[in-house]
Amino acid sequence: MPEPRYRSRTLRRVKRKLPGGNTVIHYEKRKPKLGVCSVTGEKLQGVPRERPFKMQKLGKSAKRPSRPFAGVLSSKAMRSLIKKETRKKE
């Protein structure tokens, strides 16, 4: 029976094969949910679904797309916002 701290489903169970041929279960923290657009609520493209310590190791360009409102708005919402702003100025 696993230790009490491993009994909950907070940690995911991953089967790992050892060099000797044995299979053991490792317990890992789960990945966070995908980022969603704050306007439309759709999934954000180009934003990785990683834990913070892995995100630290990624470069700036790998963390999010290089465009305005990247990592917050979807490309569709960003496009419509920019169009609104330019129409307002005219």
The pLDDT score that the predictor gives to residue 90 is: 74
Q: Are residues 45 and 80 in the same domain?
A: yes
**Contact by Cβ (8 Å): 47, 31:** no
pLDDT at 36: 94
Same domain, 45 and 86: yes
Which two structure tokens, joined as six digits, stand for 49? 């679904």
Domain around 46: 31-90
**Model pTM greater than 0.85?**
no
Same domain? For 42 and 86 the reply is yes
Q: How far is CA 17 from CA 5, 13, 22, 58, in A?
A: 23, 13, 6, 28
Q: Are residues 47 and 23 in the same domain?
A: no
Work out how many domains the chain is built from and give that number.
2
Least Cα distance to 78 among 63, 88, 89, 67 occurs for 67
- Top pLDDT among 89 and 74 is at 74
pLDDT tens digits for 3-25? 999 999 999 999 999 999 999 99
Same domain? 35 vs 58:
yes
Residues 8 and 41 reside in one and the same domain = no
What are the start-end ranges of the H helices in 1-90? Answer: 52-57, 60-63, 75-89
Q: Do residue 44 and residue 87 come from a single domain?
A: yes
